[in-house]
Amino acid sequence: MENLMLMLGWAGLYAPMALGSLGSILGCSLAGQAACGALVETDSGHGRYIGISAMPSSQSIFGIVVMFSLNRELSIANAPGIAAIGLLCGAALLVSGIYQGRCCAAAINVSRIKPEIFGLSLAPAAIVEGFAVFVFIFALVLSGSLPA
């Protein structure tokens, strides 16, 4: 049982970085595909489409910082907490990266048709980013209360 708990602790240690990066990869891919489609249909504003497609990359940054905050010698006392924080934070970052990418793709598609609503169209992506920030902050706060 101890070995299983330590293995879960190791998984929790690396999960925020791995799953957050996976969310960023998928989210940036979704938004990037929409940006590529917009590039061929518009004569200007290409930089903003490419910029929007990079928005989901923040989940990998959040995951790396959480991983470093959880990094400590694993023991039976702290492994369950590291597993819970890391795995749940990683799952939330994965999902937020994907959905932020979908929001960015929608913003690109709508602003391609009606460029004057470009700023407003980013609101859903910013809201999803806000929830990712909440997860990030909660994980940092909780990691500080784990046994050393």
Greater model confidence, 107 or 39: 107
CATH code of domain 2-143 = 1.20.120.610
> Model confidence over 39-94: pLDDT tens digits?
888 877 788 899 999 999 999 999 999 999 999 999 999 999 999 999 999 999 99
Question: What are residue 147's phi and psi, to 5 degrees?
Answer: -60, 145
Q: How confident is the model at residue 25 (pLDDT cuts 50, 70, 90)?
A: very high
- Percent share of the chain, pLDDT over 90: 84
Q: What is the mean pLDDT of residues 129-139?
A: 97
- Among 23-27, 34-38, 78-82, 84-88, where is mean pLDDT lowest? 34-38
For residue 137, the model assigns a pLDDT of: 98
- Cβ–Cβ < 8 Å for 56, 24: yes
**82 to 10, 18, 85: CA distances (angstroms):** 8, 15, 5
Distance of alpha carbon 9 from its chain centroid, rounded? 21
Cα–Cα distance, 115 to 49 (Å, whole number): 11
Q: Apex CA 47: angle with CA 46 and CA 51, to 5°? A: 120
For the chain, give the mean pLDDT. 95
Closest CA to 24 of 108, 114, 128, 148: 128
State pTM to two decimals: 0.93
Residues 6+ apart with CB under 8 A from 93: 16, 19, 20, 23, 59, 62, 63, 132, 135, 136
